[in-house]
Structure 1
Amino acid sequence: MSITDPKAIFRQEAHDLLALLEVTLLDLDHAPGDGEMIDTAFRALHTIKGSGAMFGFEAVAAFTHHVETAFDKVRQGVMAPNRELIAVALRALDHMRILIEDIEAADFAAGEALLGDLRRICEPGAAPAKADTALPVPAAATPASWRVRMKLPRDAMANGTNPLLILDELRTLGTARVTAFTHDVPPLAEMDPTACYMAWDVELETSEPLSVIEDVFMFIRDEMDLHISPLDAGDEEAAPCEDAADDAPCPSAAQATALTERREGQSRANAAATVRVPAERLDELMERVGELVITQSRLRQIAVLSADTQVKAVAEEIERLVLELRDTTMGIRMLPIGSLFGRFRRVVHDLSRDLGKQVDLVMEGEETELDKTVIEQLNDPLVHMIRNAIDHGLEDPQERLAAGKPQRGRMVLSAQHAGTEVLVTITDDGRGLNRERIRTRAEQRGLIAPDAVLSDADLFQVLFQPGFSTAAAVTSLSGRGVGMDVVKRTVEGLRGTIDIASTEGQGTKVTLRLPLTLAIIDGLLVRVGQGRYVVPLTAVEECVELSTEEDARSRGLSFLNIRGDLVPFLRLRELFSSRLPAERYQKIIVVSSGDFKVGLVVDQVIGDHQTVIKSMSKLHSDIEMFSGATILGDGAVALILDVPHLVSFGQMKEERLKAAG
């Protein structure tokens, strides 16, 4: 990827560093004395500060400097780490993110207040903070002398890199003597004022390890010539031994130089192994692949009608290549859901602190992959459900102890593949849902009839009605009935479903069933009357024949006996108001959603079809039987059936027949 805006480069890299810093701080909250994590937090802050100054984010650099100073004192053993420092650092991280993303939206007064809290915690005259875990005070590092030789790429300054800021950053690490080399500088008439022709040799005496020196060049080292070696090649004691055990001999100067070159080689190899691509380009690529799939479908239709064997052979080869390209492109769009799950650690941390509850968040199946579009749209629904689970579901510590439960609540966030779907579940061990209270509130609002017979699963669905809430009081977190209806709309917009299971006194489990991708799916093309429709192949269980005699016998009952299992079926001809006479031998497509099955009666099963999903227009958004449309090879439009809605419709029809019988 080629990005000409250097500030965009910094924002991308800073986003990753802030994510790493947040994870590290949350881990430190449970183990404040972990020296390795303290070093990781310090290095992330140090890099953000240095790179921010380099790319013109002076406000970020100035603010981060104070946070870095606090962690440097912890790292050196001057002060002990504690949860108060970590809490302030998390708030400071949020302020840094705003300064980087949109400085105009930053509240500088709040930033000064944060720095005041930091000064109070780190004030030398104040009583030392009590550490949750003892941290051994490290011995003072012995200063070492290094030679840093650097030559920036010719276009470095044009891309926003200021070599003077890099040299200033090196000076902050210790005593530096800088020598500039100008032998590559051309005559004035031939000079490009935006090009960088110079090189520098820096003799640096510092107590910092080699890794900190390397961090100064984190954002540009892959494009520049950089060599870092001990200053005195003949003095073995000048080489640091940060990677060696305390009683092991320090490596020689040659070994240290080899180590530096090896690290540089690994860094370049890692940079070459991955490429950062804007999400818009992936979306555009998926659009092109979708158009290619439609064109290939047209070619296949032409080949079927052609008697030329060469045309048929070429069409089959192109179909194979298109399938491989489709799978490869969709694989690029797949991301591990752990990238989403990691965000909720902060949500749980802050909510448990605000509500005075103790919550352990367990994440499972973080490696499960899902389409990036689905992951992006899942954030808000999951935040709503996690907030509800902690606020309404999990009890206070005293209440849990009285109920014979552990004092700390447990919440499990998991993901797993189930065929071509992904199941995302949120499980808690709290008080569970109060069935009677939900039913009473639903009857008061007229959502269900007083004498209606409902299963728990059906009753719990009223929780997704707009404005529905059983909270006794409105708080800053919940009680207004806003959120769960948005959750359902979002999940259904992703062509997914949501189910709730709960046992009072034991906990609640919410399950989201989501498709792997939203772009291209395999479908079964069917005909009803003169219209053609697509049934998502992932929902198809089997196809059976419905003869005229069986159709006549099932009139009024609409049940089919499949190997002893009664399956309700829907006549799509009636639902779609088709006026043409039915085929003599109709077909039933048995589809499923969750644990329930329903049959769809069609006139003809045409065959499998690669379906490029096109969204319905706003004028058709209220048509619930269809989830989208696709373009066929002959240019005609086929509607994609919304299987969960049809299954739900069939389930209600079955319950009405049972109640009537």
Structure 2
Amino acid sequence: MIDKFKAKFVEESNDNVHDLEEALLLLEKDTSNNEIIERIFRAMHTLKGGGAMFGFNQLSEFTHHLETVFDLVRNNKLSVTDDIISLTFESIDHIKNMLEMGDVDDADELANQAAFIQRVQQFSNSDAPAAAPVASASSASTVKDDGSKTFLITIKPNEEILRNGTNPFYLLDDLHAMGEAKVVAFYEKVPVLSNFNPVNSYCHWQVVLNTEESVNDIKDVFIFVEDECEISIEEIGSGNLLTAEAISSTIEEASKLQKSLTKEDLIAKAAASIPGQDKKETKKKVQLKEHKISSIRVNSTKIDELVNLVSELVTIQAQLNLFAENDGNPAVLALAENIQKLSRQLRDNAFSISLIPLQSELMRFQRLVRDLSKELDKDIDFVIEGGDIELDKNIIEHLTDPLLHIIRNAVDHGIEMPDERIKNGKAPKGTILFKAYYSGASVMVEVMDDGKGIDPEFIRNKAINKGLIDANTELSRKEIFELVFLSGFSTKEEVTDVSGRGVGMDVVKKKIGEIRGEVSLDSEIGKGTTLTLELPMTLSIIDGLLVKVFKNQYVIPIANIEKIHALDTVSFGKTFNHVVNIDDEQYPFIDLRESFETEVVNKGTEQLILVKYEDRKVGLLVDQVIGEYQTVVKPLGRFLKKQENISGASIMGDGTIALVIDTNRLIHNNAVKKYRTKN
């Protein structure tokens, strides 16, 4: 059971580390932001407390020292510097290793940890200049109702609490983290030295806490020690009563005389300090707010299982529809239609659960840009737009490595050194913009840098020198940039740790293709480079159009379809170079019967399906359009894995197979085939 709780702690701690990393990146841009500093302190404090509770003692000790540094920062005793931020980033990496490895007893590893702790302690023990003091409400002599509340909390631990591994001081730390607090320690029960037992707890405490948190949040601090302590939480009044001189002097007197604080005495002192508030109002009982759970944590394997079950339900739904149509019973048909509506709603809900925002993965890219820019002595700002755009988690998992490589290239190849940028009339700081937005049923991701750009002629000459193209080959600007995605192509002459090994962009294109996406590149000399990814929102179920080519059935994603035309065969007999004229507009088309090498069934009428491809429309010629079909996309087997024009297969209601056409790949490969034939 304890292993289950430890695993849960590690999972939640990784979320805290992610939040810590994100906050630190924000702090680097605004070093005086107190809200961000508090956010960092709370994340560290949570890691420290949880680590001690679940046996990660080394993690707890290490985070305690780091927390001390930021406690000095938040109390304006230490300024945020580049050295502190850099060390904290290193500490985050160290914490990640500790979460993965747990406590270790290896001598070398313990020595490394001790050395790291010593580096952290240098900041907390240094005489670094203090931050500029911030005006505080504590200097006021009267109490203002700022939305916060003041509580009297009494904590009386059992004598055996230390033996169970609980440190009461962590409880006090947690209360301090919730707001402003003053503590009175009572030690009258501490025995003489001859009777003193170091494993017993003899003290108890009273805390006057001002916080914006609720009573339930305060109770959560003691959730694991409820059976080991006597806990009392009483509301004194609204506003920060610690700013009242009468309250402060009462607390100081109680500490000196070892006299217990009482709610009634504090209320009496506070009543005179609160403008417009009488004693009766101050004594009003605390109204507990209703606690609602707005979100839950679910293991990703359970979501995958849910999506798979919904996929199977959709397949069975197709069988039910076929049976209902063949049976012809109106009652069965109506039942099938109702179940189809419900299964569609269930499908949409299941997939909305499996979608996660891109922002969840963008933190590692921000960290990458920061670390690489410092390594290369460049000054780069990483800007995010559309981080709340959601994608299937399986797509995001496959997207991470390609994006890492693209961003590495932008930092290494794209952004110039600061002096070079100034010489070219640019700001010394470069910018990499990550932009995501919806486009129909797809998500577009653009990675743009304002660097030196890429010279198309340079790419062409490089490709000729590498033997990738012939010197006499004529290429459009777009086709030249496509050469960057060929295997072994690199614009970097020297090999570095960042990039330039001749492997990369071809892998990017392959990885994006595996998730049915497209990647393209555009660049302008002196202004920068843009890489654009077009991605499907989900991989498992799509709305498709079922068509027939000879005796075989295929599915075309409806999201790609613009229009369907029924034309007589004579119209296509007059076409030249596979271009057809419809409503005074010319459209190139692909005859799927030729592409799939099947016989031509001449029925006098041809079905032309216009689909979107980049910035134009291309027709797909089929024998018959059957109708809309909710398609469960199953991966192809290893024998068909290299079939680029087909992205998967679907099991029909009658048990037959329909192949799902990847229209982008089909059109692209057809164009390449024509180009090679021509040359």
> How far apart in 2 are the matches of 1:62 and 1:632?
60
Q: 1:236 aligns with which of 234, 259, 266?
A: 266
Q: Give 1:532-551 correspondences, 5 Å limit.
A: 532-551=553-572
> How far apart in 2 are the matches of 1:560 and 1:10?
63
1:147 aligns with 2:154: yes
Q: Give 1:288-367 correspondences, 5 Å limit.
A: 288-367=309-388
CA shift digits 1:177-225 (9 cap, x unpaired): 699xxxxxxxxxxxxxxxxxxxx99952458765899989758849979
Task: Give the letter aligned to residue 308 of structure 2.
Answer: E
1:508 aligns with 2:538: no
1:557 aligns with 2:577: yes
2:170 is matched with: 169
1:193 is matched with: none
> How far apart in 1 are the matches of 2:2 and 2:277?
42
> How far apart in 2 are the matches of 1:368 and 1:581?
45
> Residue 236 of structure 1 contacts residue 251 of structure 1 at CA under 8 Å; is this kept in 2?
no
> How far apart in 1 are the matches of 2:278 and 2:29?
36
CA shift digits 1:277-324 (9 cap, x unpaired): 111111100111111101111111111122211111111111111111
> How far apart in 1 are the matches of 2:299 and 2:86?
33
Which segments of 5 or more consecutive residues in structure 2 lack a partner in the other structure?
A: 141-149, 177-182, 189-200, 236-260
2:661 is matched with: 641
> Residue 267 of structure 2 contacts residue 282 of structure 2 at CA under 8 Å; is this kept in 1?
no
Q: Give 1:94-493 correspondences, 5 Å limit.
A: 94-103=93-102, 108-124=110-126, 127-128=127-128, 134=132, 136=134, 146-148=153-155, 164-165=165-166, 167=168, 169-170=170-171, 203-205=204-206, 221=223, 228-229=233-234, 232-236=262-266, 262=288, 265=289, 268-269=291-292, 272-493=293-514
How many angstroms does 1:104 deviate by? Answer: 7.9
TM norm structure 2: 0.82
Task: Give the letter aligned to residue 111 of structure 1.
Answer: Q
1:83 aligns with 2:82: yes
> Residue 611 of structure 2 contacts residue 619 of structure 2 at CA under 8 Å; is this kept in 1?
yes
CA shift digits 1:330-356 (9 cap, x unpaired): 111122222222332212211221111
Other structure's SS at 1:234 match: helix
1:605 aligns with 2:622: no
The change in CA–CA distance for 1:546 and 1:571 in structure 2 (over 3 A counts) is same
> Residue 152 of structure 2 contacts residue 209 of structure 2 at CA under 8 Å; is this kept in 1?
no
How many angstroms does 1:487 deviate by? Answer: 1.4
1:588 aligns with 2:608: yes
> Residue 51 of structure 1 contacts residue 219 of structure 1 at CA under 8 Å; is this kept in 2?
no
> How far apart in 2 are the matches of 1:229 and 1:515?
54
The change in CA–CA distance for 1:445 and 1:258 in structure 2 (over 3 A counts) is farther
Task: Give the letter aligned to residue 566 of structure 1.
Answer: Q
CA shift digits 1:350-372 (9 cap, x unpaired): 12211111112221112222212
How many angstroms does 1:134 deviate by? Answer: 3.8
RMSD: 3.7
The change in CA–CA distance for 1:111 and 1:98 in structure 2 (over 3 A counts) is same
How many angstroms does 1:564 deviate by? Answer: 3.1
The change in CA–CA distance for 1:113 and 1:3 in structure 2 (over 3 A counts) is closer
> Residue 544 of structure 2 contacts residue 630 of structure 2 at CA under 8 Å; is this kept in 1?
yes
> How far apart in 2 are the matches of 1:646 and 1:403?
43
Task: Give the letter aligned to residue 265 of structure 2.
Answer: D
CA shift digits 1:566-617 (9 cap, x unpaired): 2222222122221464443221222222113322211111111101010111
Aligned residues: 615
The change in CA–CA distance for 1:453 and 1:240 in structure 2 (over 3 A counts) is farther
CA shift digits 1:72-104 (9 cap, x unpaired): 222233322212111101110111011112338
Task: Give the letter aligned to residue 100 of structure 2.
Answer: E
Other structure's SS at 1:33 match: coil
1:10 is matched with: 9
2:65 is matched with: 66
How many angstroms does 1:521 deviate by? Answer: 0.1
Compare CA radii of gyration and give the structure with the larger one: 2
> Residue 91 of structure 1 contacts residue 114 of structure 1 at CA under 8 Å; is this kept in 2?
no
The change in CA–CA distance for 1:532 and 1:44 in structure 2 (over 3 A counts) is same
Task: Give the letter aligned to residue 580 of structure 2.
Answer: L
Same amino acid, percent of matched pairs: 35
> Residue 590 of structure 2 contacts residue 621 of structure 2 at CA under 8 Å; is this kept in 1?
yes
Task: Give the letter aligned to residue 559 of structure 1.
Answer: V
| Deviates further, 476-485 or 419-428 | 476-485
How many angstroms does 1:240 deviate by? Answer: 10
2:636 is matched with: 616
> How far apart in 1 are the matches of 2:392 and 2:202?
48
